Amino acid sequence: MSDYTPPLADMRFVLHELIGLERIAALPGCEQVGRELVDAILDEAGKFAHDVLAPLNRVGDTEGSKLVDDEVRTPTGFRDAYRQFIEGGWSALTGDPDHGGQGLPAIVSAAVQEMWNSANMGFALCPLLSVGAIAALSFTGTDAQKALFLGKLIDGTWTGTMNLTEPQAGSDLAAVRTRAVPEGDHYRLFGQKIFITYGEHDFTDNILHLVLARLPDAPEGVKGISLFLVPKFLVNLDGSLGTRNDVHCVSLEHKLGIHASPTAVMAYGDRDGATGYLLGEANRGLEYMFVMMNEERFGVGMQGVAISERAYQRALEYARGRVQGTETGVRGGARVPILRHPDVRRMLLSMKAETEAMRALAYVAAAAMDVGHRHPDATERADAQAMADLLIPVVKGWSTETALGITSTGIQVHGGTGFIEQTGAAQYARDAQILTIYEGTTGIQANDLVGRKIARDGGAAARAAIAEMRATVAKLDGAEVAPIRAALADSVALLERAVAWVVDASATDPRGVAAGAVPFLKLFGVVAGGWQMGRAAHVAQTRLAAGDNSDPGFYRGKLATARFYADHVLPQAHGLAHAAMHGASSVLAPDDVLFAA
């Protein structure tokens, strides 16, 4: 039985009325992407998410994946679900048509990814890693490497992983020690990697590991890292599988959440060395890995949206059915569902409004990625890519941090029963905990935002985004949306000041900027989410004013959630802006003795 219903109405609203799908359909290679096709894809993806993946979510959490005799056994039903997944062509959705893919844009994939992750995040992590591996191999691989490996990754026959982290290094990739020794047309790798999602599993016959390692003559630091493709089984020139490679899962981590997803410790070269193939040029591995990592960071941001949606649906269902207490202010009244209690309504509206804001912002980022990759005009491509690059750390960092709050609120709605595993609310909160950590903690995302995405270009991309936000403010006209307009205008002004401060202070006070980077990222997310809610309010107001009776309740709901966001979420911008611009001294001034044991 499934307790997840794909939010197709809101997805279609964002795709068709906020993004403007016709704009994406005008891009080269996207001519087939019309409303009818996209709606059909969403319908079918929703059925698969509801009928196949969601019923396995609880199974995956309770059973988990297990390592048995050097092989990982995934939970009951997962292997068959993956078979149905690739038979349905879902793995090939955005893949290069020259290698068997369907060539659909990222914006369509974003909506589908959301459904997979809402339904069953533990399952969806496997194809998510393959998306990144496909991106990296497409960017760096030789024609021969692509011919041998890419098609099998795209159709899902094989899966991919990303191997960065080592026990002694953590996020400090300059400390990577895995060695790659040249041997003819290939290399022998020796080392250990940890935290490898789906590093071993029973879905497919082969797994392609993308591994960061050092050549013998490599320079120190991150400039000496190269990227290698290391298959679980070696692959013959005709595409058939050869002998087992010297790479093995030696243990699985015992985790707080996402139990269905095997998080592996991988050993390379315990015997003769693991055979690997250099991708791209030597010593450019970190640069190449960021191609994969950007895909993954966006995907993790979508997971934040997805788990929030699932938690909201579960909390709403409970609030509708749980009868407790009487209506506030009604003496002697009948007992009512807790949905009638003001604080429960506040909590549910906060979950709903923030989830809708995150969804819209993530889809806007995906559309920018599509324009950045496909637009025929170089200037348009560059501008769109700059917007995508700016938004990706926000989508990843803000959406996942917000998901922690939303899933916690979901438990609060349930009250004591939310602390009981059988209700399901606790699993969402446990699963969400990892999202702020992997593919870079929130601090790493924030430093990327203030350093690479704002200070480096003097704030040009951020100012372009702020100009679009101001354009939205200008469109909000009339008494009904006046509070939304006022709150959004105020918060955009705060963001503009904070961006200017980051640009100026980065040269003179980089530690101060770093101390306020996370509040700044959250500020950017809160305001950018308000921007999307303002856009949604404008569309809804326009539709209702024009007498659009197709779904007036939906559009009134959009106005209501936008107003709630303006009243309850956008005011956070004041505190976040203050912490970002003025909070560094209290972080940096205390002596280290403060932290003495």
C-alpha distances (whole Å) from 201 to each of 211, 248, 285 are 18, 11, 26
d(CA 84, CA 80): 6
| The pair of three-digit structure tokens given for residue 494, joined into one six-digit string | 């705060």
Whether residues 135 and 242 share a domain: the answer is no
d(CA 8, CA 90): 18
pLDDT in tens, the chain (597 residues): 458 999 999 999 999 999 999 999 999 999 989 999 999 999 999 999 999 999 999 999 999 999 998 899 999 999 999 999 999 999 999 999 999 999 999 999 999 999 999 999 999 999 999 998 999 999 999 999 999 999 999 999 999 999 988 887 666 666 789 999 999 999 999 999 999 999 999 999 999 999 999 999 999 888 999 999 999 999 999 999 999 999 999 999 999 999 999 999 999 999 999 999 999 999 999 888 877 788 889 999 999 999 999 999 999 999 999 999 999 988 888 999 999 999 999 999 999 999 999 999 999 999 999 999 999 999 999 999 999 999 999 999 999 999 999 999 999 999 999 999 999 999 999 999 999 998 899 999 999 999 999 999 999 999 999 999 999 999 999 999 999 999 999 999 999 999 999 999 999 999 999 999 999 999 999 999 999 999 999 999 999 999 877 889 999 999 999 999 999 999 999 999 999 999 999 999 888 888 886
Whether residues 115 and 186 share a domain: the answer is no
Q: Which helix (H) or strand (E) holds 231?
A: strand 226-231
Placement of tokens 């050869």 in the chain? 242
> What digits encode the pLDDT tens for the residues 359-369?
999 999 999 99
Q: Is 306 helix (H, G, I), strand (E, B) or coil?
A: helix
Whether residues 168 and 222 share a domain: the answer is yes
| pTM for this entry | 0.96
Read off φ and ψ for residue 464, nearest 5 degrees.
-65, -40
Domain at 193, CATH number: 2.40.110.20
Whether residues 74 and 180 share a domain: the answer is no
Domain at 129, CATH number: 1.10.540.10
Whether residues 111 and 220 share a domain: the answer is no
Does any domain span residue 347? no
Active site residue 439: yes
Placement of tokens 């994946």 in the chain? 65
Q: Is 207 helix (H, G, I), strand (E, B) or coil?
A: strand
Residue-wise DSSP of 281-296: STT-HHHHHHHHHHHH
Whether residues 124 and 181 share a domain: the answer is no
Quick check: 238 and 153 in contact, CB under 8 A? Answer: no
Does any domain span residue 331? no
Q: Which domain range does residue 493 map to? A: 459-588
Placement of tokens 């059988």 in the chain? 422
Comparing CA positions, the residue from 518, 495, 516, 312 lying closest to residue 401 is: 518
| Predicted local distance difference test score (pLDDT) of residue 1 | 40
Whether residues 78 and 167 share a domain: the answer is no
Whether residues 72 and 112 share a domain: the answer is yes
Q: Which helix (H) or strand (E) holds 265?
A: strand 263-268
Q: Of 228, 258, 284, at which residue does a domain stop? A: 284
d(CA 173, CA 431): 26
Does any domain span residue 62? yes
Catalytic residue among 439, 468, 480, 496: 439
Q: Quick one: CA dihedral 369, 305, 444, 93, positive or negative? A: negative
Number of structural domains in the chain: 3
